[in-house]
Amino acid sequence: MASCDHLLDQHRDKSIGTSLLKAQISSREKPAEPSSIHVERFNPALRLYEGLRFRQKEDKGVYLLMQWMPETGR
């Protein structure tokens, strides 16, 4: 999964980040495979990732390794 830059303050809380991440996940060559990201533990975007079903895989101190798993049973 490619890196995303931060959204400017005036563009936050408008579902832009959610839309971008959903598009990124669905456009992958192998969408049935997991995706992972590193996020600072106090980054407000953590709730965005959790809302998109990213779950903590590892605690790396300052950073958390988050992983998204595709839904099963489709």
- In the block, which residue shows the tokens 């975007």? 45
In contact, 37 and 25? CB cutoff 8 Å: no
DSSP 8-state code for residue 72: S
- Looking at residue 1, its pLDDT comes to 44
| pLDDT (0 to 100) of residue 65 | 94
pLDDT for position 56 = 95
Q: What is the Cβ-side half-sphere exposure of residue 39, based on CA atoms within 13 angstroms? A: 21
Q: What is the pLDDT along the chain (74 residues), one digit of tens a residue?
A: 444 556 666 666 676 777 877 777 777 666 677 888 899 989 888 888 898 889 999 999 999 999 988 776 54
Q: Provide the whole-model pTM.
A: 0.66
| Dist. CA 17–CA 33, nearest whole Å | 21
